[in-house]
Structure 1
Amino acid sequence: MATVSEKPRVRDVIRVSRDNYLSSEFVQKEKEHLWPKVWQVACREEQIPNAGDYIVFDVADESIIVVRDRNGETFSAFHNVCPHRGRQIMEGCGHAVNFRCQYHNWTFDLEGKNVVIQDKEDWNGTLDCEQIDLHRVKTGRWGGFVWINMDPASETLEEYLDPIPEYLDAFEYENMRLRWALELHIPCNWKVAMEAFMEGYHVAATHTQLLPTQGEDYTTSFSHGKHSHFGYWGATAMLGTPSPRLKRDTPADVRPGVVEFFRMMEEDFAAIFTDRDYEAAKRIMTELPADADPLTAFGMAVELGRKAAEEDGCGYPPNLTPEAMYKAGTDWHVFPNCVTLPYFDGAVWYRARPDGDDPSKCIFNIWSLKRYGPGKEPKVETEVHKDITGKSFGLIVDQDVANMYMVQKGMKSSAFSHARPNPVQEEEIINFHRTLEQYVLGQRRV
């Protein structure tokens, strides 16, 4: 990674064609060259906790059944289509002892093997040389997620994710559990939804309520192969103090600012940071003097949060040192369609997918994750909203969703031909489209 003093050398304005977001032809090429070729998050492991539990993952025209195997320790995935007449077999999620097509009773075991063909003798033995089992899909596991890849010749998940585990393994995503889960059907392209979380450049205009206590809001961003991240490596102001952009003096007592930041994140988002962190931060008002410096105040909030997590039976990840936190940065784009922002005992994970063939529709998931003590994790059902009109999902999500809607509308203007991402703060978006175009078009325009 470049040092915090280094910035990209910009010779020309970087342009991303609006066709990447609006073109029906681009959608069709994504269906052919992207979604069947990449590793994707299908679900969290805890969403299918028991042997025989399954979930259906849909993306573009593809539908995949993901099931926890009979041993309860591994996962399998299959194309969700009956080889008889093409009916999709399963819907939603649940528990199964087998997969039965409700059209003509063709039945498959949890390993995808065809075990029942109604009136099989009618074929007079000719089906014996046909592919009548479910078509298997590759699976992988990382970070507590089940990943799938429809390309049997694809690289391994480990090869695909490289170098992300080097930066994020210390956060122990696999030891987090769902705190809440949303699925929103949003009238925008899946990339518009994804990009709302791939840069911190928007915070000053979109999340203005955070600026008095967030500290630094200026970011730098870097690519790592297909993936990328941003962070506040050049920060000149600590959390709990005003953004330098506001040109305000740091208050003599920074403790209220630290507490207020955690309050807003808990009450307006309930993700990345946890309720434990907010309760712990409140204690600095009595356990620190009013003249404590910003680093001491935030550091004390972290340590009180660590003690609270230990008392809760989960603690903080043992390998998540300040050096590891600094190296990881704040936000990672996992190509093609995931973004995550982690903290010591929590994280948020976003996923976006196309919703049919309309480039102006997508399915957007938000998963709030938290470390829990043994047996203390809640049972979480995904809250699905196919129409988000007039609904609120908390101030921060509402602000981001409003941008998605207005961006999709604005891009259709005859006056707009290209996006012009910030070469310092929006490298995640630049690298995203470079990589996307290589998959979809076979060459890069960005």
Structure 2
Amino acid sequence: MDDLLVERIRADMAYEFQRTAPPEGFPAFHDIATERHTSDAFHDLEREHLWSKTWVIAGRLEDVPNPGDYFTFDKLGVPLLVVRGTDDVVRCFYNTCQHRGAPVVRDERGSARRLRCQYHSWTYEVDGGTLVAVPDERDFVDLDWEQRCLPRASCDAYGGFVFVNLDLDADPLVDWIGPLAEMLDPFRGSELREVYRETRIVPCNWKVTAEAFLEVYHFKHIHSHGGVSVLDNRGAAMGLYPNGHSRMITPFSAQHAARMGMADWDDWRPIDHRPFASITGVPNMASCTSSAVSIFPNVIIPLGPIGFPINVFWPIDKGTTLLEWIYYGLPPEGQDRFDPDDLPEHWKTRRDGYNSIMAEDERNMAPMQRSMESPALRGIPINYQERRIWHLHEEIDRVIGVENVPEKWRMSPVLQPYVET
């Protein structure tokens, strides 16, 4: 995140504060069809085309620190296995023995020199998934060992996170992340470690949860305390990136800026975050604004100088979502990780504060889903402040294939001129 980008964001905020309407020529949005959140048919389209072709976060590199270390991952609707090979390369295989379909490994995480199915002991290498042992081979006629290797999925790492993609022909992860990296790289994700995690089952479509974090139009209405809002949504500066990614930088309200010792919303001065350890090289903007990015399709990251949570939304069915948030920070000096059962007091306070904000958002989600399923809501109007939501839906259609989406549910592709490359 260079100085030119920071100053461009500052100028965008100033423009947002003074504008009286959307920019001249900005397109009018038609209503988003409620069926995109409520229908079995659209959920099935996403399951078949979206989740099978998209890079998603499966874990962290420190989850597999040594050769043979593995963890399982089941959130894409198929059982997967991520393992570090003897060559130090992290790969992803389907956790499905090619004999009778039993899991190759049953534990959520572990370590093995070879991957041996516990049903009939068919055995595979941890490097290429090559089949190397079949008990009673004599009883198989013309067994083609090369055709019985463990099937692979695409696997790569970025910022310490392990990404997987069921599409073996997927674009390289670094190309898919693209210019979003200018926002992510300064926060040194590979140096951070998990502080704590929370999991909720929420009775709503996964996009209802994602959309809650793609705008601050709602912020002063549900996150104000004592009549004071931390953020001023009128100055939110947004950027749209290729592949459905985006950013949103929101200035502090006048009251909160004063509380932080700032002269005004754009007084982006150094802030002392002790006793937290701060990430070196992070622009002051991250301390003096709410700086958030989205990684398509299901990750929101509120970036900060002491670390960040990742909010992740996994569809269980059309009306149920697994909501996770996992906070990452620099571990205490002299330690390589956090002990979630013995967090420092300042991290406990941070945890409780963030969980409270998440609870305020979560309270809206189930009622919204019920209302979306009502005939009273004929469509979902989206405004200029909410354009990141439109950007998400446009990309969903592109990945599914516009021709596969019923015409009455399609998104008009109008935001391409506003995408930064």
What TM-score bracket applies, with the shorter chain setting the length?
Answer: 0.7 to 0.9
Q: How far off is 1:10 after superposition?
A: 4.5
1:85-100 to 2 correspondence within 5 Å?
A: 85-91=100-106, 93-97=108-112, 98-100=114-116
Q: Which residue in 2 is equivalent to 1:440? A: 400
- CA, structure 1 residues 54+238, in 2 after alignment: closer, same or farther (shift >3 Å)? farther
Q: Is the 8 A contact 1:170 1:324 kept in 2?
A: no
Residue 70 of structure 2 is aligned to residue 54 of structure 1: yes
Q: Which residue in 2 is equivalent to 1:416? A: 377
User: For residues 31 and 124 of structure 2, what CA distance do their matches in structure 1 show?
Assistant: 49
Q: Is the 8 A contact 1:66 1:75 kept in 2?
A: yes
Q: Which residue in 1 is equivalent to 2:391? A: 431
1:14-413 to 2 correspondence within 5 Å?
A: 14-71=30-87, 73-91=88-106, 93-97=108-112, 98-111=114-127, 112-124=129-141, 126-128=142-144, 131-209=147-225, 212=228, 214-218=230-234, 219-225=236-242, 226-232=244-250, 235=251, 237-238=253-254, 240-241=256-257, 254=258, 257-258=259-260, 293=263, 299=269, 302=271, 304-305=272-273, 308=275, 315-318=278-281, 320-322=282-284, 330-355=291-316, 358-372=317-331, 373-375=333-335, 377-380=337-340, 394-413=355-374
Q: How far off is 1:296 after superposition?
A: 11
Q: How far off is 1:216 after superposition?
A: 2.2
Q: How far off is 1:183 after superposition?
A: 2.5
Q: Is the 8 A contact 2:131 2:148 kept in 1?
A: yes
Q: How far off is 1:344 after superposition?
A: 0.9
Q: TM-score, normalised by structure 1?
A: 0.75
- CA, structure 1 residues 236+23, in 2 after alignment: closer, same or farther (shift >3 Å)? closer
User: For residues 81 and 190 of structure 2, what CA distance do their matches in structure 1 show?
Assistant: 22
Q: How far off is 1:122 after superposition?
A: 0.8
- CA, structure 1 residues 295+361, in 2 after alignment: closer, same or farther (shift >3 Å)? closer
Which amino acid in the other structure matches residue 166 of structure 1?
Answer: E
Q: Is the 8 A contact 2:206 2:314 kept in 1?
A: yes
Which amino acid in the other structure matches residue 208 of structure 1?
Answer: S
Q: Is the 8 A contact 1:228 1:427 kept in 2?
A: no
For the residue of structure 2 that corresponds to 1:394, the secondary structure is: helix
**5+ residue gaps in structure 1?**
242-253, 259-283, 285-291, 382-391
Q: How far off is 1:223 after superposition?
A: 1.3
Q: How far off is 1:370 after superposition?
A: 0.8
Q: How far off is 1:413 after superposition?
A: 0.4
Q: Is the 8 A contact 2:246 2:295 kept in 1?
A: yes
User: For residues 161 and 247 of structure 2, what CA distance do their matches in structure 1 show?
Assistant: 20
Which amino acid in the other structure matches residue 227 of structure 1?
Answer: H
Q: TM-score, normalised by structure 2?
A: 0.80
Q: Is the 8 A contact 1:215 1:239 kept in 2?
A: no
Q: Is the 8 A contact 1:89 1:100 kept in 2?
A: yes
| Per-residue Cα deviation, 1:33-81 (whole angstroms, up to 9, x for no partner) | 111211111112223333322221123422211112335x431110121
Q: How far off is 1:90 after superposition?
A: 3.1
Q: Is the 8 A contact 1:240 1:298 kept in 2?
A: no
Q: Is the 8 A contact 2:220 2:231 kept in 1?
A: no
User: For residues 322 and 175 of structure 2, what CA distance do their matches in structure 1 show?
Assistant: 27
- Provide the aligned length of Structure 1 versus Structure 2: 374
Q: Is the 8 A contact 2:286 2:304 kept in 1?
A: no
Q: Is the 8 A contact 2:198 2:326 kept in 1?
A: yes
- CA, structure 1 residues 377+439, in 2 after alignment: closer, same or farther (shift >3 Å)? same
Q: Is the 8 A contact 1:239 1:294 kept in 2?
A: no
For the residue of structure 2 that corresponds to 1:179, the secondary structure is: strand
Which amino acid in the other structure matches residue 436 of structure 1?
Answer: I
| Per-residue Cα deviation, 1:159-206 (whole angstroms, up to 9, x for no partner) | 101111122211111111111012322222111122222221221122
For the residue of structure 1 that corresponds to 2:391, the secondary structure is: helix
- CA, structure 1 residues 48+93, in 2 after alignment: closer, same or farther (shift >3 Å)? farther
